[in-house]
Chain A
Amino acid sequence: MSNKLTMALLASCALGLLGGAAMAQDFDYGKFDGYTLKVKLIGGTQYEKLYTRIPEWEAMTGAKVDIVSSKAHFDLDREIKQDIASGSISWCVGSNHTSFAPQYGDLYVDLKQHIAQAELDKYVPGTLASAMVDGRLVQLPRVTDVSNIYYNKALYADPAKQAAYKAKYGKDLVPPETFDDFKNQIIFFADPPNLYGTAFAGKDEGMSGRFMELLRANGGDIFDENWKPIFNSDAGVAAVQWFKDIYDAKAVPAGTVNYGWDEIGAAMAAGQLAIDLDWPGWASYFSDPASSKVAANLGFAVSPVGTSGHRGGWSGSHSFSVTEQCDNIPAAVSFAVFMTNDESEMMEATAGNLPTRSKTFSDVVQWFKDNNKPALAEMFPIWQQSLAEARTPPLIPQWIEVSNVIWPKVQAAIVGQEEIKAALDEAAAQATTIMQDAGLLK
């Protein structure tokens, strides 16, 4: 620690910028001349914009960054697991995600040991809390995902539709506040094959997550406090029934059970969906006329509540982690902090992502107003509300595995191949075995 302090002093003297008071507050990025930091980062245009800041960090610290890998998360996950299996962790910083992090055991350091509390206080408290695994802060959150509603305002503003909806359901046609309204509207708007009420991620963690969200909104949960799987409860059956109802009504594309995020986003951008319960990351894409037909009519709303009166608030954060085996942990920590500092978060937020630092929320709304993007300025306060009820999937290493027994069975129930209750019972039995093998459930 004293070493670090000397470095801090040296750096601040050299720069001659920092006053004594600021020193306690501002993070010191250090000097690592001649050092090459190896990093594995999530790829894709949406994530890579932030990496344009890397040269800035290089200039500031004198280190070089070598991006040894850049791919989509499931591929990165597989690669990291291979590295663990073969004992070849030769890199320092890796992109991470709250849903993946618990799997990696002690691969990553506890950042609380390396970053001053004053710095950590700048992050949104709830977001930071969900970045912990077993009390260890294994990752620094970079952007947060909470599901929220995008809708096509043109459809909601159509007087004929308003009248018809009112006549049928006795309510005004406004973005749904409950999942029941949501279902009614999905079915009401559907006019296949050119317009569907919505589409949902019907496979992989997308399906499990949506199911979990609705399950929790209905007052249920995946596990009880003893890690016993209880998602085959009445709330679980009702959740699957919800998906089955809109599927049977043909209000969603039949292929939706095979869709991933890309297909749903593409359909929304093509104007094929009335409502889309989706991630914040899409906002800039949907609001850009060059890529989206709904750009001019894009509306935002918080996600609906279930029968319990609460939101499911499925959320997670993309993040950066530092490996235990890193040969220069201070440099790696410096990099991780830099990539999530105020300027970086501002960059993420101006691209439409939900930032992880408290300050950025107010800053970015002003920025959008100044830069004449009223739609996005309107979005942030709405979505900040949903952060209040945001909940991650269970932060245990077995989540992905449990998810992999849930979604095929939920799919089977939705397409009518199995009875809902029977399908969930079966998945719960498999999940029980997994939890017993893991020693979490006695």
Chain B
Amino acid sequence: MKFLRSPRATPYLLLLPAIVVILAVVLVPLLVSFWTSFTGYTLTKPATLFQFVGLRNYQRLLGNADFWWAFARTIMFITIALNLELVLGLGLALLINKITWGQRTLRTIMMFPMMFSPILVGFQFKYLFNDAVGLVNNALFDLGLIHEPIAWLVEAGLANFSIIFAEMWMSTSVFAILLLAGLMALPKEPIEAARVDGCNAWQVFRHITLPFLMPFIYIALTIRSLDVARAYDMVKIMTNGGPAQRTELLWTLMTRVGYQNSQMGMANAMGYISIIVSIAFTVFYYRKLTSARAFMGGAQ
């Protein structure tokens, strides 16, 4: 009681509502699912919630090739998507920053894809890439570029390309808007000084703009790595992991095992492994961010 009134308690009190919310929505469910990952929990048989099977689920996963393929593919998916989104988002931000008129409209258009719910993006690209009646194939046919349909969502390389493309369409804007904010905060003096000293555009970008943008880049990467799992809704609609598990990601595999096969215990074991992957990405970018901040002389 005494502690609560002391000034030392103030920050904790201020943080209390946030902590309570996170505990209720994330931590408690997480503990529940942690327990179930050691049981043979079957969704349709509530009694199995207490059927302890030790590490069986994890052991089976270790020997399950489908799981590890999905695991590897998920890491590839996140890595490729995030990096391409970063490069394109940076390019987009640099371009838009050069245009002086209609900024507000341009920026709104730039953020247009952010208005689309991931599930909508899924349907949209499923139909765009449909091999028989999709917009893309129709356009290629009518332009005379192809004479037999391209199976966008079937052939292994193309199917993965398609889901990554959809993911990039959906999320590049987030990078662009965050980096544009960074560009607009860019101090003018060092650039002008560099120009006077005879640096060319590339040198200015490489030695002044880019280092200044680094913290923004890591912020964007951290934010995106946090909610990249949103892509699940989209992939589920587009391919749901198929065909022949060519686009299977941890998220699609997990949902099928958990809900359709009712094996929630096993699904949650997968969930834990996937959480570790997400955490690894986030911690990695967050550390980069902290060091980049330190480089700017700001943070502790």
Contacts and interface: CB of A to CB of B under 8 A. Distances in A.
Interface in A353-390: none
A203 B131 contact: no
B196 interface: no
A202 B133 CA distance: 17
Nearest to A410: B244
Contact of B44 (A81, A272, A408): A81
Interface of B is mostly: loop
Interface string B61-83: 00000100000000000000000
Nearest to A81: B43
B113 interface: no
Contact of A253 (B131, B141, B262): B131
A380 to B, nearest CB: 31
B148 A255 contact: no
Interface in A256-271: 257-258, 263, 266-267, 270
Interface in B111-148: 130-133, 137, 141, 148
A412 B245 contact: yes
Interface in B206-256: 239-240, 242-246, 256
A255 B137 CA distance: 12
Contacts of B108: none
Interface string A72-90: 0010011001101101000
Given A84-B44, A254-B151, A404-B256, A203 B240 contact: yes
Interface of A is mostly: helix
Interface in A289-332: none
A169 interface: no
B10 interface: no
Given A193-B141, A202-B243, A254 B149 contact: yes
B270 interface: no
B260 to A, nearest CB: 6
Nearest to A84: B44
A-side interface size class: 35 or more
A341 interface: no
Interface string B152-164: 1111100000000
A400 interface: yes
Nearest to B45: A105
Interface residues of B, number: 34
A394 interface: no
Nearest to A102: B44
Contact of A417 (B43, B66, B244, B256): B244
Contacts of A272: 132
A192 B156 CA distance: 21
Count chain A CB atoms within 10 A of each CB in B130, B131, B240, B264 and give the residue with the most.
B131
Contacts of A84: 43-44, 46
A255 B264 CA distance: 31
B262 A401 contact: yes
Contact of A255 (B40, B131, B240, B261): B131
A103 interface: yes
A195 to B, nearest CB: 11
15 contacts: A81-B259, A82-B43, A84-B43, A104-B44, A193-B148, A193-B149, A253-B149, A254-B149, A255-B132, A255-B152, A257-B242, A258-B242, A400-B260, A411-B245, A415-B243
Please list the 10 inter-chain residue pairs (A to B) with the smallest Cβ-Cβ separation, ordered nearest first. A254-B151, A255-B131, A412-B244, A257-B243, A411-B244, A401-B261, A81-B43, A411-B243, A253-B132, A193-B149
